Amino acid sequence: MFYRSSAGKGSVAKLAILSFLLLTLFACSETVDLKAQTSVNAQDVKSNSSVSEKVSNELVLDLAVDQEYLDSGQLVLIATLKNGSTNEVSFLPWANPFEKNVTADFLTIVDLTAGVELPYRGIMVKRMPPKPSDYQSLAPQQTISNTIDITSSYTFCADQKLKIVYSGALYNQLSKPYALELNSLEMVLPDAFPDC
Amino acid sequence: MKTIFKYFFIATLSISLIGVAHAAAELPDNLHVIASIEQTSFSVDDNLMVSVTYHNFGNQTISLLKWDTALNNGLTEDLFDIEFNDQKIPYTGVHVKRLAPTRSDFVQIAPGESATGKVNLQGSYPINFKGRYKIAMRNSGALATKLQVPITFNLNADRPIIQAKRPARFQNCSTSQTSSIDAALTSAERIANAAITDLRGTPVVLRATAPRYREWFGSYSAGRYSQIELGMERIASALSSQTIGFDCDCSGQDGVDPNNTFAFVFPNDPYNMTLCGVFFQVAREGTDSKSGTIVHEISHFNVVASSDDFASALDQRGSRRLASSSPTSAIRNANAFEYFAENTPFLQMPLPADLAFISARSSKLRPFAGQSMMILGVISNLGDGSAPASVTNVTLIDMAGVIQTAETAVSPLNAGENFDFEINLKAPGAPGEYVVEVCVAQVAGESNVNNNCTALTSLLVRESVAITPILPLLLDD
């Protein structure tokens, strides 16, 4: 069972229009920032990657929450990536939700009640540069999903009202980030989470 | 004469506040405060002495409480505004809670009289880094603007920072691993200290074009540069003074492949790091080395620089690209801190030049009026950085002011290089005594401009002798 955001499948058309408008707005700027292409409040999004040249593909990254885990006091995200283009996409599944475990701060999580961003408490890893075999391919129109447990990477408390936005990037083999369509999540953490 | 005044650094502050009081901002009417220093250049072994004279310009004796003035025995209050690289240096000296003053705590200054005290800035202000410092008497609001001449002085070397180094803590490490980590930690401390020294030592005007900064952190802005300085300072400080914890077992961490991982940390758990397989395979120093990895990991801690890992910047090529495309991201890139500190391949941070006169003399001490003569000598670059081309000019001054100038070009000088100069000119037409001042023009980012001018012994110009053209030659010096 997925806890979906307001920008779910039914809003794809709106997202596309909004993305087009935002891209047009920033067309005169050399730097097209990732946050300019999201469908969420841009002020809440960290700018983890603002690289001047983004690879244009119709990639949709959708985050959802596994409700069963949430009810039992774990925050497990289900990340779905759809390649809506006619080209194969190859991306590095590091420092993003397509790894088995969290290895970087790729989310912006805001406690809406307190109005503060939750600090990242997970690991930071210095790795060797990726080999070609480290990249993951996605055929045209193909969709992949991955679940990732973020419970121990932030301090979550019962009754917290959260907004979660992806603020990382997906890089191709030239280390250029793909343009992504993103959603945001809002939720209230149940009593199964610890009292803080 | 003009030259003489250049070697006195006197600041006069007129204070127009009421009554007898003890704080610097509450000095009485008609009490003028004059601060001066006897040296313009200090070594790390010198005491940084400042003289402060309190002069009573009024008609009545002033009873001045010595506390929190320079007349006290040592600084007990923040009396000075000191700037280094346009940033204020905080007062780190004592603040004293006292009993009520007694008679002996006051000094009486009669009308027209002065009281002078000397204070040592060392120990009360962290004046630790080589470079030029600007000092002013600390005071409130508009009074400070009455300072007539800013006092400047140079510290000619970095002061060694003495901190109790704590031994590292090891867990799950073999003897050989412990030994190689210890050596790498020493190297990490050294490269981090060199990095902060270079960041601080680069003159502000040269920072925007500093190749090493631009390579890893991108285009310059003062704010971003300050952030890097602060981050690197904290990295160096942590490596010098904190207990660094090393765990050599990285097999138990989900998501970490020991075979392609150098190390990892939890940013909210200073100063502990886990070292993985790649760390033990790389060299102690150089690109992506053990020492650089330690710098990288230390930079992650929230109490240090809160840096990030960027999947697009896992090597030098990616980090250069990030610096070029997004300086705001680059200043958060842990690899940028590492590569700046490793500095392999070597890139320059432009260090300040310091043009100064080694010698200067006139070819004739007592020339005849209108006679050809020459000012010659040696200019040296005493600084650590290269000096671009400059110009030397000579000025003849009499009691009425400047009467003649002449100049010659000075070629670019590397650190430690000398330049012999000769400037031809004619002695003034009117007999008399003249002062000759020779100055080399200041170059961008120069560290010490107080030695750019020198005054020659007075030139005595004699009445021209017109009887025979040979006679002046016979009477020549």
DSSP one-letter string for B190-217 = HHHHHHHHHHHHS-HHHHTT-HHHHHHH
Dump pLDDT digits (tens) for B264-289: 999 999 999 999 999 999 999 999 99
**Beta-sheet pairing, A184-188 with B10-15:** unpaired
Q: Do B321 and A51 touch (CB under 8 A)?
A: yes
Asked if the C-beta of B325 comes within 8 angstroms of chain A's C-beta atoms, the answer is: yes
Prior bond to B339 cis, omega within 30?
Answer: no
Decide: helix, strand or coil at residue A176: coil
Dump pLDDT digits (tens) for B35-92: 778 777 888 888 888 888 887 877 888 888 888 788 887 887 778 888 876 667 777 7
**C-alpha distance from A93 to closest chain B C-alpha (Å):** 9
CA dist list (Å): B207 to B224, B319, B333, B377:
11, 20, 19, 32
The active-site residue out of B77, B215, B233, B297 is B297
**Averaged over B299-312, what is the pLDDT?**
95
pLDDT at A47 over 60: no
Domain spans in chain A, listed from the N-terminal domain onward: 1-56, 58-188
Q: Do B256 and A124 touch (CB under 8 A)?
A: no
Specify the range with the lowest mean pLDDT, choosing from A100-114, B21-35, B423-437: B21-35
Q: Do A102 and B296 touch (CB under 8 A)?
A: no
pLDDT at A53: 53
B433 catalytic? Reply is no
Q: Do B329 and A130 touch (CB under 8 A)?
A: no
Decide: helix, strand or coil at residue B124: coil
Q: Which residues of B touch A99 (CB under 8 A)?
A: 255
Facing residue for B278 by CB, picked from A51, A102, A128: A128
**Averaged over A89-93, what is the pLDDT?**
96
Asked if the C-beta of B256 comes within 8 angstroms of chain A's C-beta atoms, the answer is: yes
Tokens representing A150? 């973020």
Dump pLDDT digits (tens) for B184-196: 999 999 999 999 9
pLDDT at B163: 54
* CB B360 within 8 Å of CB B377: yes
Tokens representing B301? 């801690």
Specify the range with the lowest mean pLDDT, choosing from B54-58, B439-443, B452-456: B54-58
- Using 50, 70 and 90 to split pLDDT, how confident is the model at A34? very low
Give Rg (Cα) of chain A: 16
Q: Which residues of A touch B335 (CB under 8 A)?
A: 126
pLDDT at A113: 92
Q: Which residues of B touch A34 (CB under 8 A)?
A: none
pLDDT at B139: 59
**Averaged over B162-179, what is the pLDDT?**
86
Q: Do A50 and B325 touch (CB under 8 A)?
A: yes
CA–CA gap between residue B377 and residue B357 (Å, rounded): 8
CA dist list (Å): B160 to A33, B44, B242, B298:
44, 8, 17, 22
**Averaged over B178-187, what is the pLDDT?**
96
**C-alpha distance from B298 to closest chain A C-alpha (Å):** 11
pLDDT at B442: 92
More confident: B123 or A173? A173
pLDDT at B146: 41
CA dist list (Å): B122 to A195, B45, B46, B159, B289:
51, 10, 9, 11, 38
CA–CA gap between residue A26 and residue A14 (Å, rounded): 18
Angle between helices B290-300 and B175-201 (to 10 degrees): 70
Q: Which residues of A touch B315 (CB under 8 A)?
A: 129
Asked if the C-beta of B318 comes within 8 angstroms of chain A's C-beta atoms, the answer is: yes
CA dist list (Å): B252 to A75, B197, B275, B281, B461:
22, 38, 12, 20, 89
CB proximity list for A42: less than 8 A, separation 6 or greater: A35, A36
Q: Do B329 and A50 touch (CB under 8 A)?
A: yes
Asked if the C-beta of B329 comes within 8 angstroms of chain A's C-beta atoms, the answer is: yes
Q: Do B261 and A119 touch (CB under 8 A)?
A: no
pLDDT at A28 over 60: no
pLDDT at B310: 94
pLDDT at B162: 57
pLDDT at B469: 54
More confident: B395 or B457? B395
CA–CA gap between residue B185 and residue B233 (Å, rounded): 16
Best residue of B219, B278, B306, B314 to probe chain A, by most A CBs closer than 10 Å: B314
Burial B363-381 (b: 16+ CB within 10 A, else e): ebeebbbebebebbbebbb
pLDDT at B365: 83
pLDDT at B32: 75
> Percent of chain B having pLDDT more than 90?
47
**C-alpha distance from A142 to closest chain B C-alpha (Å):** 24
Dump pLDDT digits (tens) for B197-214: 999 989 999 999 999 999
pLDDT at A51 over 80: no
* CB A74 within 8 Å of CB A55: no
Q: Do A125 and B318 touch (CB under 8 A)?
A: no
More confident: A30 or B197? B197
pLDDT at B374: 92
- Using 50, 70 and 90 to split pLDDT, how confident is the model at A3? very low
Decide: helix, strand or coil at residue B308: strand
pLDDT at B180: 96
Q: Do A123 and B297 touch (CB under 8 A)?
A: no
pLDDT at B131 over 80: no
pLDDT at B79: 83
**C-alpha distance from A140 to closest chain B C-alpha (Å):** 24
Q: Which residues of A touch B321 (CB under 8 A)?
A: 51, 175
More confident: B166 or B345? B345
**C-alpha distance from A120 to closest chain B C-alpha (Å):** 8
More confident: A178 or B83? A178
Q: Do A177 and B312 touch (CB under 8 A)?
A: yes
- Using 50, 70 and 90 to split pLDDT, how confident is the model at B451? confident
Best residue of B304, B308, B324 to probe chain A, by most A CBs closer than 10 Å: B308
Facing residue for B263 by CB, picked from A50, A104, A126: A126
Best residue of B287, B309, B316, B322 to probe chain A, by most A CBs closer than 10 Å: B309
Q: How many CA atoms lie within 13 A of B66 on its CB side?
A: 18
Sign of the alpha-carbon torsion through A148, A152, A153, A156: positive
B44-B47-B50 Cα angle (round to 5): 130
Q: Which residues of B touch A96 (CB under 8 A)?
A: 311
CA–CA gap between residue B178 and residue B283 (Å, rounded): 15
For the domain A58-188, what is the CATH code?
2.60.40.2970
CA–CA gap between residue B61 and residue B63 (Å, rounded): 7
